[in-house]
Amino acid sequence: MRQSNVVIDYKYDNEPDISVDPRDGKLGMVHIHVAFVAFIIGVFGGLLQGLARGGMIQLPTWLGYYQILTAHGVLLALVFTTFIIYGFFFAGMSKTHGTFSSRLRKTGWVGFYIMLVGTLIATVLILLNEASVLYTFYVPLQGHWLFYAALALVIVGSWISAVALLTHYFKWKKANPDKPTPLFGFMTTATLILWMVAGLGVAATVLVQILPWALGLTSEVNVLLSRTLFWYFGHPLVYFWIMPAYMVWYLVVPKVIGGRLFSSSLARLAFVLFLLFSIPVGFHHQLMESGVTEFWKYVQTILTFVVVVPSLLTAFSIFATFEQTAREKGGKGVIGWIKTLPWGDVRFFAPFMGMIVFIPAGAGGIINASFQLNSVVHNTLWVVGHFHLTVGTTVLLTFFGMAYWLIPVLTGRRFTKHANRCGIVQTWLWVIGMFLMSGAMHILGLFGAPRRTAYATYGDHPQALQWFEGIFASHVTVAIGGVILTAAGVLMFYNFIHLAFLAPKGHTEFPMTPDPVDTPNTPAYLENWKLWIGIAVVLILFAYTIPIYEMIVNAPPGSPPFNFLIK
């Protein structure tokens, strides 16, 4: 007999709403505090950047364009995301797998403090204009050696925290050998394994190549190798952002709409595919670079297209969850049922808008990864518009939607109607601002406007002047979108303050989907981590061994540092 997708009247509803242990909650919450402080600084960095780039303001002499560009990228794309993800993981693992042992919680605190120290040092160096190397910190641009050491600390700290979370998961698995693990733990594990395997690349280039070079111990650096190791890390980094956002879609949103997830097996399969195929694909960021043969670029492009599949599975899975739940609640028509979804609830609305934005974002990603099309958009503002849709909207709106309930859960407060209303306004402002900013960036990019450049008219070249004169495709539109986004960012920071410190004390639910109906039939092999890690390693070795060997044996001439180029 088919089981209903609607949760009402099911035994799950009689289960107690298990709260997060306050000690684990505190550990989760400190991550969120750091995330939002970084967020608001990063937002203002973005505002100044947009206005300066559009020629609407001139930055003071003591503040460089590339300095705020670096601050914006590092604080939003690296710090905000990493900290809020770990806050979510610690809270969610405590709820779904039980309270952490004091030893594991201490390990989590050690990881947090190491990440925090690294973040503080890196931020100070950026603000001192000692590390204006952009958030990709490509060599041969050279920052202060301490900046790289600080980034290494952030990575190491995140690994220590990951060990705490993974140990907690495997302890649960050992204690419950006959049960499929809760989806939250499964997905956290897949994400963290991905993060640890991917982090090896950036750790290798920072520790072996960049730090000795920045310290003056070596005079030259192999740029091609460093960029390759960076992108070995850089693309899975994108999935490190998106997978926790998918966790909110898979596990939280179904509960918020009053239903249950469509399928456990499909969700697990999607996460396994992300683990397997998101790492051996970095060359699609280097399609225009010399030094990598077209064969290896081709191989990694194919693998890139494979990693599109789990995102398509996710799109199907989530929409099927919406449709089944809405129909069981009385929704009718081919798409008329959509009216029954809780549009007034920001816990649903913000992630939903993130999902919608992911349609053009994902399509743009497929364009970027296609060789010939990449030559149209490479190093243009199109790419900036693209990642402002992916991480800057899909991921961020989902994390905002999560923050509205997670913060009060962790602080023992109530998710108020006021916060909900502010959240709806915030989401609209973010979407409108991003439509203008990112839309204009995409079109400017197609017209050839470059990225990573300060305000320039290129000697008043007619083509460059057009980039300031268009109605929609204009740097001015980018700046206007940026102003609206800043307003949305400030409102989000207010929401954070409200929910963390001002909302009345009380209980807020941690929404978590009941087990999908196919949970008992979930194939055991989907949890065979040794198998998946083994296949992932084989794919990585296949995709990278020969090209990296060639980069070392037939190395291009090493580059001296350039440390005053864009300061």
Asked if residue 140 has a cis previous peptide bond (ω within 30° of 0), the answer is yes
Per CB under 8 A, the segment of 116-124, 245-253, 362-370, 468-476 that binds another protein is: 362-370
Q: Residue 302 has which token pair? A: 């194919």
Location of structure tokens 């603000």: 127
Q: Rounded to whole angstroms, how far apart are CA atoms 544 and 529? A: 22
* Residue 393 binds another protein (CB under 8 A): no
Q: Choose between 57 and 517: whose C-beta lies nearer to another protein.
A: 517
Q: How far is the CB of 465 from another protein (least distance, A)?
A: 21
- Measure the CA–CA gap between 319 and 328, rounded to whole angstroms: 14
- Classified as helix, coil or strand, 515 is coil
Q: Which structure tokens are listed for 204?
A: 């290798």
Closest CB to another protein among 322 and 400?
322
**Given the complex with another protein, which of 382 and 532 has the nearer CB atom?**
382
Q: Helices 183-204 and 264-277, interaxial angle, to 10°?
A: 10
414 in catalytic set: no
Least distance to another protein from the beta carbon of 261, Å? 14
Judge contact between 387 and 78, C-beta under 8 A. Answer: no
Site string for another protein, 61-100 (x = CB under 8 A): ----------------------------------------
Calpha distance 64→61 (Å, rounded): 7
If binding means CB under 8 A, how many residues of this protein chain bind another protein? 31
* x/- track of binding to another protein for residues 369-388 (CB under 8 A): -x-xx-xxx-----------
Active site residue 549: no
Q: Does 517 bind another protein (CB under 8 A)?
A: no
Residue 284 a catalytic site member: no
Q: What is the rounded distance in angstroms from the CA atom of residue 160 to the CA atom of residue 107?
A: 7
Minimum gap (Å) between residue 8 Cβ and another protein: 14
Which is catalytic among the residues 260, 388, 413, 475? 388
Residue 335 is a binding residue for another protein (CB under 8 A): yes
Q: Tell whether residue 288 is a contact of another protein (CB under 8 A).
A: no
Residue 309 binds another protein, judged by CB under 8 A: no
Residue 313 has which token pair?
């599975």
Identify the bridge partners of residue 6 per DSSP, sorted by sequence position: 259
As separate numbers, helices (DSSP H) first and strands (DSSP E) second, the chain gives 21, 0
* Residue 124 vs 446, nearer CB to another protein: 446
Query: Given the complex with another protein, which of 159 and 337 has the nearer CB atom?
Result: 337
Judged by CB under 8 A, the stretch of 2-10, 141-149, 200-208, 237-245 that binds another protein is 2-10
Contact 249, 296 (CB under 8 A): no
Q: Does 360 bind another protein (CB under 8 A)?
A: yes
Nearest to 4 by CA among 241, 260, 278: 260
**Marked catalytic residue, from 386, 413, 442, 475:** 386
Block residue for tokens 């947009």: 50
Rounded distance between C-alpha atoms, residue 414 and residue 524, angstroms: 39
356 versus 425: smaller Cβ distance to another protein: 356
The yes or no reply on residue 109 touching another protein (CB under 8 A) is no
Residue from 259, 280, 364, 385 in contact with another protein (CB under 8 A)? 364
CB 261 within 8 A of CB 317: yes
Does the protein bind another protein through residue 306 (CB under 8 A)?
A: no
Answer yes or no: are the C-beta atoms of 393 and 81 closer than 8 Å. no
> Least separation, in Å, of the C-beta of 435 and another protein?
16
> Which CB atom, from 333 or from 462, has the smaller least distance to another protein?
333
239 annotated active-site: yes
Q: Which residues are within 8 A (CB) of 67 and not within 5 positions of it... i.e. 6 or more apart? A: 126, 127, 129, 132, 567
246 is catalytic: no
> Which is nearer to another protein, 316 or 455 (by Cβ)?
316
For residue 259, state whether it binds another protein (rule: CB under 8 A): no
Q: CA separation (Å) from 528 to 207, 287, 330, 434? A: 32, 34, 40, 41
H/E element, 55: none
- Tell me which residues are annotated as active site: 235, 239, 386-388, 451-452
Chain residues binding another protein by CB under 8 A are 2, 4-5, 312, 315-316, 319-320, 322-324, 327-328, 334-335, 337-338, 359-360, 362-364, 366-367, 370, 372-373, 375-377, 446
